[in-house]
Amino acid sequence: MPTADLGPLTAFAENTPTKASGGGRDFVVVRRGEGAFVLDHECQHLGAPLSKGHVDGDTIVCPWHRATFALTDGALLEPPGLNCQRAYATSLEDGALIVAWDEEAEPHPAPDMTSTDTDPRHAVVLGAGAAGITAAESLRAFGFGGELTVIDREKAAPYDRTKLSKGLTEDAEKVRLRSDAWLERHQVAMRHEEVESIDPHTRTVTFADGETLSADILIVAPGSEPNRLGVPGAQSPRVITLRSAEDAQVLSSAIAGTKRAAIIGTGFIGLEAATVLSGQGVKVTVIGRDEVPFAQILGERIGARLKREQEAEGVTFVRGDVEEIETDEDMPRAVLLEDGTRITADLVVMAVGVRPRSGILSGVEPEKDGGVTVGADLSLPGCQGVYLAGDIARLPTAWGSIRVEHWRFAQQLGRLAAKAVVTGDARYEGAPFFWTKQQASGSYVYLGHAEAWDDIVYEGDADGGKDFAAYYVEGGRITAVFGHGMADKLSALERQMSREGPLPREAAPA
């Protein structure tokens, strides 16, 4: 078994993640008294350096997207991602820290999976997005040994949808979350078919061709459908919604011949697309109703900052309502606004929000926003053995009853649904979190949940500084934080919110 001498144990600061190298490998070392925890240095999600991470008790938090791992064995405790970190055996020899490893061990192993054929029940998961594939894998990891079927209409699923707007990945195989071979090895049957409806009372899935499938356990994670404006030209093939792998492929292939692009919508997806397109030399115009993007979500000061960053890279903002998308043989030529403004464009991205696919559930009345209210364990009231996860689920949390449309939260709910199935007892005990790649170097992060606020408290230079945080305060409690940089502090706040929910106002700077 290969070993490496990482130097004197006393050279490592107590409880501080530190990079060390040996034997051609990089490690993160966390000293704890007369011993140390040692994991692979690069995070399993996107390769962030865990030596820049945050230690919280016996866990370490990734500095980029807040995946959380057990220091003891590298187990993945909080997403994003699906894999664990390899943990290394350690020993002390004359005061030196020695690590040993198995050459055949993977640097980012999948969680241990249960043996199958140990349970007579059949579990069906609808959707192979963040919530669905995490639910399926977590069922096996938590010990479900019955038949397991995952249904998704997209042939490319399961893949990392965040790469579509943040990087315009053209090849879905490059962002595939699990290979067909992996799914087969763990006896996860993948069906790429269109589902017409689900009867949650009988746990029956009806496919578009009329075939039906019955389940003992049903986890419904159908994701969302992108909205389209009901204006002439909106259905053109080159008016792209950027929701699926196919959308990303169309957009990626179209960039080479595109000089001017119009993006309808000033939300996160729209401005992430603006970031990517402007970086490829495309002249981008963003069309929206608000003078300042994100003002209602992040406040005018932060919204103005994000707008300035886009404008500095050549992105133009136009305020107005779309009346028509001019096309010529299905190719966009311009976007016409109600005030008569004409914006020339040979590519149009429509980013005007999404709506949960709750209509697939027969006999269930969704809320106004398309979500469906579930119990603390994600169970659908009145429908035994049925659980909802992802965009569709409105659930009780420390922030009240909320519904969140973000990747990490969806993965958390997929894991929660699986735990509820296997243990019969589960509730959400995390903190909502998402990241967005705008024009600034690195990612902006948002933790918590704020639909309204009484005050925003700023730390650092929120107008243009690299390191800042904005604390959203309602009723004397910090319900959310938005920031850039300050990785250790923001990670500590995310962990504290996971335990306590909204924090006292005193947790923000005076």
12-64: pLDDT as tens digits: 999 999 999 999 999 999 999 999 999 999 999 999 999 999 999 999 999 99
- Give the model's pLDDT for residue 324: 98
Angstrom CA distances, 202 to 14, 195, 199, 365, stand at 56, 16, 6, 17
* Spatial distance between the Cα atoms of 479 and 273, rounded to a whole number of angstroms: 28
Is residue 487 a contact partner of residue 384, using CB atoms and an 8 Å limit?
Answer: no
- Give the model's pLDDT for residue 162: 85
Instruction: Among 1-15, 153-167, 364-378, 406-420, name the one with the lowest average pLDDT.
Output: 153-167
- Give the model's pLDDT for residue 21: 97
b/e map 219-244, b = 16+ CB within 10 Å: bbbbbbebeebebebbebebbbbbbb
Q: State the pLDDT confidence band at 249, using cuts at 50, 70 and 90.
A: confident
pTM: 0.95
CATH superfamily of this structure's domain 242-345: FAD/NAD(P)-binding domain (3.50.50.60)
- Give the model's pLDDT for residue 253: 83
Instruction: Among 171-175, 402-406, 459-463, name the one with the lowest average pLDDT.
Output: 171-175
Give the CB-side neighbour count of residue 70, counting CA atoms within 13 A.
10
Q: What percent of the chain has pLDDT over 70?
A: 98
Q: Specify the DSSP class assigned to residue 175.
A: G
Mean pLDDT of 59-84: 97
First to last CA, the chain: 54
What dihedral do alpha carbons 432, 161, 78, 478 form, nearest 10°?
A: -20
User: What kind of architecture, by CATH, is found in domain 122-225+355-423?
Assistant: 3-Layer(bba) Sandwich (3.50)
Own/partner pairs, 447-452, CB within 8 angstroms, 24+ separation = 447/66, 447/480, 447/481, 447/490, 447/493, 447/494, 447/497, 448/399, 448/472, 448/478, 448/479, 448/480, 448/481, 448/497, 448/502, 449/397, 449/399, 449/402, 449/404, 449/479, 449/480, 450/474, 450/479, 450/480
What residues have CB less than 8 Å from 258, skipping those under 6 apart? 277, 282, 346, 347
* Spatial distance between the Cα atoms of 74 and 63, rounded to a whole number of angstroms: 16
User: What pLDDT, in 10s, does the model give residues 287-337?
Assistant: 999 999 999 999 999 999 999 999 999 999 999 999 999 999 888 999 999
Q: State the pLDDT confidence band at 106, using cuts at 50, 70 and 90.
A: confident
Q: Which of 26, 20, 30 is nearest to 40 (CA)?
A: 26
What residues have CB less than 8 Å from 315, skipping those under 6 apart? 274, 278, 284, 285, 286
Helix (H) or strand (E) holding 408: helix 407-423
Is residue 11 a contact partner of residue 20, using CB atoms and an 8 Å limit?
Answer: no
CA angle 7, 8, 9 (to 5 degrees): 115
* Spatial distance between the Cα atoms of 146 and 126, rounded to a whole number of angstroms: 16
CATH superfamily of this structure's domain 3-100: Rieske [2Fe-2S] iron-sulphur domain (2.102.10.10)
- Asked whether the predicted pLDDT for residue 231 surpasses 70, the reply is yes
Equal CATH topology for 122-225+355-423 and 242-345: yes
Helical spans, DSSP H, in 179-267:
180-185, 245-255
Q: State the pLDDT confidence band at 170, using cuts at 50, 70 and 90.
A: low
Region for residue 24 given its phi and psi (left: phi exceeds 0; alpha: psi -120 to 50; beta: otherwise): left
User: What pLDDT, in 10s, does the model give residues 380-439?
Assistant: 999 999 999 999 999 999 999 999 999 999 999 999 999 999 999 899 999 999 999 999
Tokens representing 311 are: 């404008």
User: What pLDDT, in 10s, does the model give residues 184-221?
Assistant: 999 999 999 999 999 999 999 999 999 999 999 999 99
Mean pLDDT of 240-261: 87
Is residue 128 a contact partner of residue 410, using CB atoms and an 8 Å limit?
Answer: no
CA angle 44, 50, 52 (to 5 degrees): 145
Fold of 440-507: Enolase-like; domain 1 (3.30.390)
Q: Which of 91, 64, 89, 68 is nearest to 78 (CA)?
A: 68
* Spatial distance between the Cα atoms of 324 and 334, rounded to a whole number of angstroms: 8
* Spatial distance between the Cα atoms of 508 and 237, rounded to a whole number of angstroms: 48
Angstrom CA distances, 197 to 65, 217, 222, stand at 35, 16, 11
Residue with tokens 């004409």: 342
Domain range list for the chain: 3-100, 122-225+355-423, 242-345, 440-507
- What is the number of other CB atoms lying within 10 angstroms of the CB of residue 8? 12
- Give the model's pLDDT for residue 246: 86
